[in-house]
Structure 1
Amino acid sequence: MDVSLNTWIFTILALAALIAVDFFIGRKPHDVSTKEAGIWTVVWIALAVIFGLGLLVVGQTQASGEFFAGFITEKSLSVDNLFVFVLIMAKFSVPSHLQQRVLLIGVLIALVLRAIFIAAGAAVIANFSWVFYIFGAFLIYTAWKLIQEARAGEEAEAPEDNVLLKKIEKKFGVADQYHGTKLFIQRNGKRILTPLMVVMLAIGMTDVLFALDSIPAIFGLTQDPYIVFTANAFALMGLRQLYFLIGGLLKKLVHLSYGLSVILGFIGVKLVLHALHENGVHVPEISIAVSLSVICAVLVVTTITSLIANKKREAAEAAAAKDDKAPIES
C-alpha cells in the first residue's frame, strides 16, 4: 500500500486526537463501572472496524484484510497481556480509582515503544529478507513456550523481580504509600518516586516484552508499516476499557494461552514459508484470507472450550462443596 506523507500525518494527528479524548475521559481518577467500560470498548472496536472498512471502500482490499487480521491478532495478544496487568496491579496494591490512570499512561508508553519497534522492523525487513526466518523461528519458539507454561500452570514473572526496576527503586527511592496521581514527591529534601510511578514503569517495561511477540507476529501478516502501525494503535487504544470490562472474566479464559500459541505458531510457519518463497524456493504461501479465517476460528474455539472447561470446573467444585456439607451418618 503506497501511503503518502500527508496520509501518515493525518493518521497520526487523528490517532493523537483520539488519545486526547481518551485522556480527557479518564483525566479524573475514578472507579470505572462495567457500563462505562463496555460503552467505550464498543466505541474503540467500532472505530477500528470503520477504519478497516474505509480501506476497503477506497479500493485497498488486501490492505483491509491485512488490517483486520493484524487488529484481531494484536487484540488477542493484548487480552493475554491483561493477565500480567492484573498481576502488576495486585502486586503493587494499586487503588481501584488510580488503575485507569496507570493503564492510560501504560498505553501511551506502549504506543511510543511499538512505533519505534515498527520503524526498526520495517527498515530491517526492507534490507534483509532473511530476517523472516528469525521472526518465524522466534514465533514458533514462543508458541512452544506458551504451551509449556500453560501446561505447567506457571504465572508471569512478578514485577518486583525485574532487575532494572529494582535498580531504579534503589537509585531514586520509593515512597511507602500512594499520593494521589503524583509521580514524585519531596522527602527530606530529596525527590523520590511514588508507588504509582513504579507501577507505570513496570507496565512500560512489561510492554517491551509484549512487543517482542506482537511485532514479529503482525509482520508475518503484512509487511506494510502503515497497516502494522494502525492495527497496533487501534488494538492498544481500547485496552484500558477492556481491562475493566473483562477483568473478572480473564480467569475463565483458561485455554487462551493454547489458542494464542496456535496463532503464533501458525504465523511463524507462514513467515518461514514466505522467506523460502522470497529465496526462490517453490513452496505454497498462505493468503491473508486463510490467515484471517484461521485466527478467528482458533479464537472462537478457544473461547468456547474455555467456557465449557470453566463450567465443568464450577460444577465439580459445587458438587464437592455439597458433599462436604452433607451430614455424616453414624
Structure 2
Amino acid sequence: MEIPVWFEITSMVVLTIILIGDLLLIRLRPHIPSTKESTLWVVFYVGLALLFAVLLGNVGGWQNAGDFITGWALEYSLSIDNLFVFVLIMAQFAVPRRLQQQVLMVGIIIALILRGLFILAGVAIVENFSPIFYIFGAFLIWTAIRQAMPDGDHEGEVQRENFIVRLLRRRVDISETYDGSKIRTTVDGKRMWTPMVIVFITIGVTDLIFAIDSIPAIFEITTNGFLVFSANIFALMGLRQLYFLLGDLLDRLRYLHYGIAVILGFIGVKLILHALHVNELPFINGGEHVEWVPDISNMVSLGVILASMTIATVASLIASSREKRAARSTTTVE
C-alpha cells in the first residue's frame, strides 16, 4: 500500500515545526534539564513516534508502519552510540553544562541535514544498482567487528576529528573562551570565532561518520526514502534529552558496544542474504536470484535489536553493581 503524498508532506511540516519549537525553547531558556524534565521529553518523543506509526498504519498500511517501527528502533539503538562520543566532545572542549543543550540541538540539526543527503543518494543508488547491498552488508559486518573490539573506539573517533580541529585553528582566529552560545565574539577589538564553532564542526563530522554506519543498515529494513528519513528524525529528536537523562549512566554501559556490534553484524548478514535474493551479478549463480536463501522478516530484526540492547544494558548494570559492591567490601576490610 502506498503512503499518501499528503501524509508525507504533513508529517514533515509538523516535525519541522516541533524541531523549530524545541530549538527556540532552548535558545530562549538555556538551562540544565532535570531528570524529571528529561524523562518527560524522552517519553513524549517515544510516544510521538508510536503515534506516528499508528497514523501511518491507518493511512499507509501496517506493513509500512511495521517497517517504520523496526527502522526507528534500529536508528535509535545506533544513535545511542553517538552519546558516548558527545560526552567525550563536551569534556574535550570544556563546554559549559548549561550550553550543552544548544550544542546537542545544533548537532541534531546538522545530523538531519547530513543524513537527508545520504538518504537521497542511497535511495538513488539502491534503486539503480542492486549489488550495492553486497557492499553495504560487508561494510556493516566489518563495522560490527570494529565495534566489538576492546575499549578505545570512541576515543579514536574523536582523535580522527582532531586533525580537522588543528587545521581549522591554523587557518582561523579562535578565542580561548566561550561567549555564551555565540560562534563569533570580539576580543580586544578584534572579531574572532569562539570555540563553539569547533564543537559544532566536531559534532557534525562525528555524525557524518556514524551516518556512514547507520544509513546502510536501515536500507535493509526499507528502501522507502520517506520511512528511512522519518525513522532517522524520530531517532534523533529525543537524543538530546536522553543525553541528560542517562548522564553518568553512560559510563556504566560498558557492554553496550557489544550489543550494537551484534545488531550491525546481524543487519550486515541480512543485507547480504537480501543481495543474494535480488542477485544480478553474473559470477554468482549465473546472474540469477538465489531462491533458497532464507528470508528474515523485519519482525525478527526488531526482536534482535531489542534483545541485543536489553541484554547489553542489563549485563553492563550488573557488572557495574558487582564492582561497586566489591569496592565497598575492600574499603570496609581496610
Q: TM-score, normalised by structure 2?
A: 0.92
User: CA contact under 8 A between 2:147 and 2:153: conserved in structure 1?
Assistant: no
**What is the aligned-residue identity percentage?**
47
After superposing the two structures, state which structure 1 stretch, 264-273 or 46-55, moved more: 46-55
- The 2-side partners of 1:295 and 1:30 are apart by 34
Q: Displacement, 1:69?
A: 1.0
Provide structure 1 residue ranges, at least 5 long, that are not aligned to the other structure.
326-330
1:39 and 2:40 correspond: yes
- Spell out, residue by residue over 1:118-148, the C-alpha distance to the aligned partner (whole angstroms, 9 max, x if none): 0000000000000000000000000001111
Q: Displacement, 1:5?
A: 4.2
1:225 and 2:234 correspond: no
After superposing the two structures, state which structure 1 stretch, 103-112 or 154-163, moved more: 154-163
1:292 is aligned to: 302
User: CA contact under 8 A between 1:29 and 1:97: conserved in structure 2?
Assistant: yes
- The 2-side partners of 1:34 and 1:159 are apart by 31
1:194 is aligned to: 194
1:312 and 2:322 correspond: yes
- The 2-side partners of 1:210 and 1:154 are apart by 11
> Any idea what SS the aligned residue of 2:264 has?
helix
User: CA contact under 8 A between 2:175 and 2:192: conserved in structure 1?
Assistant: yes
- Map 1:40-59 onto structure 2 (within 5 A): 40-58=41-59
> Any idea what SS the aligned residue of 2:185 has?
strand
- Map 1:1-330 onto structure 2 (within 5 A): 2-27=2-27, 28-58=29-59, 60-150=61-151, 155-158=155-158, 162-187=162-187, 190-279=190-279, 280-282=289-291, 283-323=293-333, 325=334
**Given the superposition, is the C-alpha separation of residues 156 and 82 from structure 1 closer, same or farther in structure 2, using an over 3 Å criterion?**
farther
User: CA contact under 8 A between 1:98 and 1:181: conserved in structure 2?
Assistant: yes
- The 2-side partners of 1:101 and 1:276 are apart by 45
- The 2-side partners of 1:155 and 1:79 are apart by 16
**Given the superposition, is the C-alpha separation of residues 286 and 39 from structure 1 closer, same or farther in structure 2, using an over 3 Å criterion?**
same
Q: Displacement, 1:161?
A: 5.2
> Any idea what SS the aligned residue of 1:11 has?
helix
> Any idea what SS the aligned residue of 1:58 has?
helix
- The 2-side partners of 1:154 and 1:14 are apart by 34
**Given the superposition, is the C-alpha separation of residues 40 and 163 from structure 1 closer, same or farther in structure 2, using an over 3 Å criterion?**
same
2:285 is aligned to: none
User: CA contact under 8 A between 1:84 and 1:156: conserved in structure 2?
Assistant: no
After superposing the two structures, state which structure 1 stretch, 308-317 or 235-244, moved more: 308-317
User: CA contact under 8 A between 2:137 and 2:271: conserved in structure 1?
Assistant: yes
Q: Displacement, 1:8?
A: 3.1
User: CA contact under 8 A between 2:158 and 2:206: conserved in structure 1?
Assistant: no
After superposing the two structures, state which structure 1 stretch, 253-262 or 314-323, moved more: 314-323
Q: Displacement, 1:208?
A: 0.3
Q: Displacement, 1:104?
A: 0.8
- Spell out, residue by residue over 1:258-297, the C-alpha distance to the aligned partner (whole angstroms, 9 max, x if none): 0000000000000000000001012111111111111111
2:282 is aligned to: none
- The 2-side partners of 1:153 and 1:93 are apart by 21
User: CA contact under 8 A between 1:178 and 1:194: conserved in structure 2?
Assistant: yes
> Any idea what SS the aligned residue of 1:186 has?
strand
Aligned-partner residue type, residue 195 of structure 1: P
User: CA contact under 8 A between 1:159 and 1:202: conserved in structure 2?
Assistant: no
Aligned-partner residue type, residue 180 of structure 2: G
- Spell out, residue by residue over 1:86-143, the C-alpha distance to the aligned partner (whole angstroms, 9 max, x if none): 0000011111111111011111100100000000000000000000000000000000
1:328 is aligned to: none
After superposing the two structures, state which structure 1 stretch, 255-264 or 286-295, moved more: 286-295
- Spell out, residue by residue over 1:214-253, the C-alpha distance to the aligned partner (whole angstroms, 9 max, x if none): 1011112111111100000000011111111112211121
Aligned-partner residue type, residue 270 of structure 1: K
> Any idea what SS the aligned residue of 2:186 has?
strand
